Homo-oligomer: A and B are copies of this chain.
Amino acid sequence: MTPPDATLRGFCGYAMKRAFLGVQADLNRVLAPLGLRMMTFSALVVVTDCPGLRQAQLADALSVEKPNMVALVAELEKAGLIERQRAAGDRRAHALIPTDAGRALCARAIAAVQAHEARITSGLSKLELQTLMQALALMERTASEETTHA
């Protein structure tokens, strides 16, 4: 009758984990043919939206620590999707620029992800989806406040 994790199922954090891991695994399957993962896709989208932004800004936007950004950017650069240029006015910084190939792949990847999103949310009404997105944004803010107050 009741599954072994019945108690856990009552916890929102546990439900979020199970749902996210499933969605992420599914999303990575969608992105794999394009040579991308969730992390590299996210970075490519931000660089394409904000050409010229610096590595520290990208790390901040994605909530990734700077040291972990290095390999990620190097991977995208090696794949020919973005370029690192010395920022004018600050020779320490790298300005990140999407290549033509990066922009093209980004457009294809966004289309694939949008189709994937439509599939995984197909069982939700417009109102339910809106409530879900608002709830997730609110919980993200609340959790970060809790952590900050620690």
Contacts and interface: CB of A to CB of B under 8 A. Distances in A.
A36 to B, nearest CB: 13
B63 A21 contact: yes
* Copies of this polypeptide in the complex: 2
The DSSP consensus for interface residues of chain A is: helix
A79 interface: no
Interface stretch (A70-78, A83-91, A97-105, A128-136): A128-136
Interface in A36-62: 38, 42, 45-46, 49-50, 53, 57-58, 61-62
A134 B140 CA distance: 19
A123 B150 contact: no
B129 A12 contact: yes
16 contacts: A4-B53, A4-B58, A12-B23, A12-B120, A12-B121, A12-B129, A13-B24, A17-B20, A19-B137, A19-B139, A20-B20, A22-B147, A23-B140, A119-B142, A122-B142, A132-B136
Interface of A: 3-8, 11-27, 29, 38, 42, 45-46, 49-50, 53, 57-58, 61-63, 110, 113, 116-117, 119-124, 128-129, 131-140, 142-144, 146-147, 150
